[in-house]
C-alpha cells in the first residue's frame, strides 16, 4: 500500500482529486485521524476537515493519480 500526505485548499482541488481517484481501478482511501473515506466519493472527501493534512492510501503506482497527488503533496 502506497501512502502520500496531501492538502486540499479549495473545492476545485477536491474535485480534481476525486476525478483522478475515480480513474483508478483499485481502492483509493483518504483519511484524517481515525476517519477513512473512499476517495472516489466527493461528498465523503468534502466532509473531511480540509484545513488539515490528509493521508491518501492507494494500491499501486499510477502516473495519473500520482501527478495529482504530487500537485497537492505536503513536505
- How does pLDDT run across 18-39, given as a tens digit for each residue? 999 999 999 999 999 999 999 9
Superfamily per CATH, domain 2-72: HPr-like (3.30.1340.10)
- How does pLDDT run across 36-50, given as a tens digit for each residue? 999 999 999 999 999
pLDDT band at 60 (very low <50, low <70, confident <90, very high): confident
Annotate 14-70 with DSSP letters as a single string: HHHHHHHHHT-SS-EEEEETTEEEETT-HHHHHTS-TTS-EEEEESS--HHHHHHHH
Q: What is the pTM of this model?
A: 0.92
| Residue 55 clears pLDDT 80, i.e. is over it | yes
Domain parsing of the chain, residue ranges:
2-72
Cell triple for residue 56? Answer: 491518501
Amino acid at each position: 500500500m502506497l501512502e502520500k500526505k496531501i492538502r486540499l485548499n479549495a473545492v476545485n482541488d477536491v474535485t480534481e482529486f476525486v476525478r483522478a481517484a475515480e480513474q483508478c481501478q483499485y481502492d483509493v482511501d483518504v483519511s484524517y485521524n481515525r476517519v477513512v473515506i473512499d476517495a472516489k466519493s466527493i461528498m465523503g472527501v468534502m466532509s473531511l476537515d480540509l484545513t488539515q493534512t490528509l493521508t491518501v492510501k492507494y494500491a499501486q503506482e499510477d502516473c495519473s493519480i500520482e501527478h495529482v497527488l504530487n500537485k497537492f503533496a505536503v513536505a
